[in-house]
Amino acid sequence: MVASSSHPVAAATGSPSAASAGAAVIDGLRSWSAWVAHLQPREAAINLALTAVIIAAAYGIVRFLDWTLRQGVERLAAKGLVADPQAGRGPRIAAMSWGLLKLAISFGAALLVLEVWGLAPLAWLTGSSGAALARVAFLVVIGVAVLELGGRMMDRMFLSLQHRARDPRRAAQFQTLAPIVRGLVTGLLVILIGLTVLSEIGVKIGPLLAGAGVVGVALGFGAQTLVKDFLTGLFLIMEDIVSVGDNVKIGEFSGQVESMTLRTIRLRDFDGTLHVFPYSEAQVIHNRTKSFSYAVIAPKISYVSDIEKARAIMREIGEQLQHEKPYAEMIVEPLEIVGVDAFTDVGVVVKARIKTRPGKQWQVGREFQQRLKLAFDARGIEMGYPNVSADRPTTGADGRDEPAPEPATNH
């Protein structure tokens, strides 16, 4: 018991003649084992009771603080003073702070329990080994705080830049750069904190850095594709070729850019399929939503229909869409009829296009084609389709019309 017995570990750890920290710890454990072996049953029972009281008190404090925190958050949320706890990085920081507080309470309880059982942790912590451990713990806590606060500040900075950007394209570029820059900065901070911790525990980081340089060169030769992916993705973003939210086509696959990492670009297809491409494999990128788009309309009109009448109907529908919401806000320039584009076996192709805002070409095109079909049906314009009649005369070898051959019959 603390009151009736002296601390053998305190004497061992406080001895200035110890050869090393490891030898001091071993001597202290031997002394403590001998001390525990000579404890009286009454003293051991008192120590067990004190241990139970300390653990119960620590558990009760943690539970009380947890209940108080939950009640406070619920009241603030009911008053609308806090945002949705499921959104943003705020909950992560709050959870980490609460975790550090619980760790501190548990650590304090552990120190008291060790003190009760004669291990004298405070005396050990005031020594050279304890000071080194305290510095390491301090560096880890500070490093975690810097990582969280730095990430929070970078997220807010890029979010502010997105809101202040007048060009939607520039806002999308900031959205693309945010996770990449944050990943790079986080990686550098983790390496810096790790090297500092290793230096504090006695590891010589000079040879370690030299060895890491040699290993880095060796890995560079074996990981040329990774380096190529990283550099290609960096130039894609810097040159504003593609950003998050764009609808692009890579090879045979197309979809909306869901995210861009340090080495891959991810497309979400119309049916929900996620296509992941390393930048080195995205040799040609077809961006269909950069700056502006065109809704291309190319109906096939039968040869017996009036082409000019069909063109007039198309102009009329284009003017309707240009003055109706919400399509008026999507259309940048009025309908442009190119004219007869091709002759096919089913009809004449009349091509036209409408310049729209980025990504709005499909919505405008679908509405235009739906109205066009209804208007053609109402005004007698036939859409092109294979229509060969048995009674229609065919053309002979000399260019004159000949009657269609009679079907063969069995006699």
Tell me, yes or no, whether 150 lies in a domain: yes
Least confident of 159-168, 234-243, 319-328, 381-390: 381-390
Residue 374 scores a pLDDT above 90:
yes
Look at 246 and 125; give whichever has higher pLDDT.
246
Torsion of CA 135, 138, 140, 145, to 10 degrees: -160
Q: Which CATH number characterizes residue 277's domain?
A: 2.30.30.60
Q: Which domain holds residue 323?
A: 293-378
**Are 249 and 323 in the same domain?**
no
Look at 225 and 65; give whichever has higher pLDDT.
65
Residue 30 scores a pLDDT above 90:
no
**Are 76 and 205 in the same domain?**
yes
pTM of structure: 0.49
Structurally, how many domains does the chain consist of?
3
Residue 55 scores a pLDDT above 80:
yes
Tell me, yes or no, whether 411 lies in a domain: no
**Are 42 and 153 in the same domain?**
yes
> Binning pLDDT at 50, 70 and 90, where does residue 93 land?
low
> Binning pLDDT at 50, 70 and 90, where does residue 192 land?
confident
State the Cα–Cα distance between residues 190 and 193, nearest whole angstrom.
5
Rounded percentage of the chain residues whose pLDDT exceeds 90: 15
Beta strands, E only, 38-165: none
Residue 296 scores a pLDDT above 70:
yes
What is the average per-residue pLDDT within 64-87? 63
Tens-place pLDDT, residues 35-50: 666 667 777 788 788 8
Looking at 287, 311, 345, the residue that finishes a domain is: 287
Question: CA angle, corner 343, sides to 335 and 398, nearest 5?
Answer: 155
Q: Which CATH number characterizes residue 369's domain?
A: 3.30.70.100
Smallest Cα–Cα separation from 287: which of 242, 330, 251? 242
Least confident of 179-183, 219-223, 283-287, 406-410: 406-410
> Binning pLDDT at 50, 70 and 90, where does residue 394 land?
very low
**Are 114 and 246 in the same domain?**
no
> Binning pLDDT at 50, 70 and 90, where does residue 122 land?
low
Tell me, yes or no, whether 2 lies in a domain: no
**Are 36 and 73 in the same domain?**
yes
**Are 281 and 312 in the same domain?**
no
Instruction: Look at residue 89 in the predicted model and tell me its pLDDT.
Output: 45
- CB of 257 closer than 8 Å to CB of 289: no
**Are 21 and 101 in the same domain?**
yes
**Are 344 and 283 in the same domain?**
no
Smallest Cα–Cα separation from 167: which of 55, 283, 292, 275? 292
> Binning pLDDT at 50, 70 and 90, where does residue 120 land?
low
Tell me, yes or no, whether 51 lies in a domain: yes
What is the average per-residue pLDDT within 219-239? 72
Tell me, yes or no, whether 389 lies in a domain: no
Least confident of 121-135, 159-173, 226-240: 121-135
Instruction: Look at residue 282 in the predicted model and tell me its pLDDT.
Output: 78
Tell me, yes or no, whether 215 lies in a domain: no
Looking at 287, 310, 325, the residue that finishes a domain is: 287
Q: Mean pLDDT in the chain?
A: 75
**Are 298 and 162 in the same domain?**
no
Instruction: Look at residue 407 in the predicted model and tell me its pLDDT.
Output: 46
Tell me, yes or no, whether 49 lies in a domain: yes
Tens-place pLDDT, residues 249-282: 988 888 988 888 777 888 999 888 999 888 878 7
Instruction: Look at residue 163 in the predicted model and tell me its pLDDT.
Output: 76
Instruction: Look at residue 242 in the predicted model and tell me its pLDDT.
Output: 84
> Which structure tokens are listed for 186?
């986080």
Those residues with Cβ within 8 angstroms of residue 219's Cβ, 6 or more apart along the chain or in another chain: none
Residue 166 scores a pLDDT above 50:
yes
> Which structure tokens are listed for 237?
């973003």
**Are 242 and 117 in the same domain?**
no
Looking at 221, 254, 287, the residue that finishes a domain is: 287
In total, the chain counts a number of residues equal to 411
Residue 79 scores a pLDDT above 90:
no
Residue 145 scores a pLDDT above 60:
yes
Tell me, yes or no, whether 219 lies in a domain: no
> Binning pLDDT at 50, 70 and 90, where does residue 316 land?
very high
> 145-150: long-range contacts (C-beta < 8 A, 24 or more apart)?
146/189, 146/193, 147/186, 147/189, 147/190, 148/89, 148/92, 148/93, 148/96, 149/93, 150/185, 150/186, 150/189
For the beta carbon of residue 12, count every other beta carbon within 10 angstroms.
22
Smallest Cα–Cα separation from 119: which of 266, 236, 6, 210? 6
**Are 312 and 258 in the same domain?**
no
What is the average per-residue pLDDT within 283-299? 88
**Are 173 and 311 in the same domain?**
no
Measured in degrees and rounded to the nearest 5, phi and psi for residue 391 equal -90, -10
Instruction: Look at residue 372 in the predicted model and tell me its pLDDT.
Output: 93
